Amino acid sequence: MYFHTQEAIKAIILLLFSGFIFMLHHTGEIIKFINPQYTAFSQIASVIFLFLFFIQVPRIFISKEQAEDHDYCTILGCNHEVGSARKVPLKSVLIYSIVLFPLVTGFLLPYKDLGAAEAVKRGICYTPNEQHLHHSEELVTSNKVFHEMMESPVLILNNLNFSVYVNNILTYPEFFDGKPLVLEGFILVGDDHPFLARFLVTHCVADAHVTGLLLSSDDNNLRNANDWVKVYGLVDTIENNGQVLPIIQVKEWKQIDQPKIPYVYP
């Protein structure tokens, strides 16, 4: 019986990956990394890692017969370096430390939610994704969410409808003039007006980008970047470089703690 150190290291790494992803799901911290809609993928990955671990474990040991029989080389790969089985060459040490790196930082370091500092780096966009110069009724009637928004007396924005609602308000600001709405987000300080922002996460936080609406308020306390606030206000419009932009006339606001799920999803 021979013991293969390298194969053992591989087995442990596979188990750690499985355990790491399992732990993220178990503690719910997975939402700090990916859109909850896609969690099934990483759950499957966790199970596959565990499965690969069980595939890997028997490779840690080779019996004497196997070590001498070269017949299986072609299919299982050669494992005959029995003389050096216990030694791990420097190059492999480097490789395994690279693979272990995310596990070490993942297990030990605290995770950070993206905030105002990252938002400024990534650029902010106040304008709609689509520019309809002629807001024909036809186009508007085909939009289901738009109808839903027009019919509800107060727009209450949550994690799931935030980006759709904000996008509609940005695209058709004049239709929502005077509409009351309630929304939460963190403050970014722009040139004239503060900006109420959320990070929109499509897949994972690496593709997060900022979405949100401008705020109009006399209260200077509403200008502290990175503060989380809940705002009640009315939709209004302003002109900026010949473009009509929606802006929220703040009626009431209060400071809140950062919500459990800081991101919004499309």
- Residues numbered 80-139 forming contacts with another protein, rule: CB under 8 A: 95, 98-99, 101-102, 105-114, 117-118, 120-123, 125, 127-131
The Cα 191–Cα 31 span in angstroms is: 32
Q: Interface with another protein includes 241 (CB under 8 A)?
A: no
Asked if 119 contacts 199 with a C-beta cutoff of 8 angstroms, the reply is yes
Footprint of another protein on residues 188-227 (CB under 8 A)? 200, 202-207, 209
Adjacent-strand bridge partners of 187: 196
Nearer to another protein, 171 or 250 (CB): 171
Q: Interface with another protein includes 160 (CB under 8 A)?
A: no
Q: How far is the CB of 137 from another protein (least distance, A)?
A: 17
The amino acid sitting at 62 is I
Nearer to another protein, 45 or 156 (CB): 45
Footprint of another protein on residues 169-188 (CB under 8 A)? 171
Look-up of token digits 């924005």: 157
Q: How far is the CB of 122 from another protein (least distance, A)?
A: 6
Q: Interface with another protein includes 154 (CB under 8 A)?
A: no
Q: How far is the CB of 197 from another protein (least distance, A)?
A: 13
Alpha helices in the chain, H assignment, sequence order: 5-27, 39-56, 64-68, 73-76, 90-108, 116-122, 137-141, 144-151, 162-171
Query: Considering only 48-56, 176-184, 232-240, 244-252, which stretch makes contact with another protein by CB under 8 A?
Result: 48-56
Token pair for 261: 């799920």
Residues 6+ apart with CB under 8 A from 92: 6
Nearer to another protein, 108 or 154 (CB): 108
Q: How far is the CB of 209 from another protein (least distance, A)?
A: 5
Beta strands at 194-200 and 61-62: parallel, antiparallel or unpaired: unpaired
Task: Give SS3 for 225.
Answer: coil
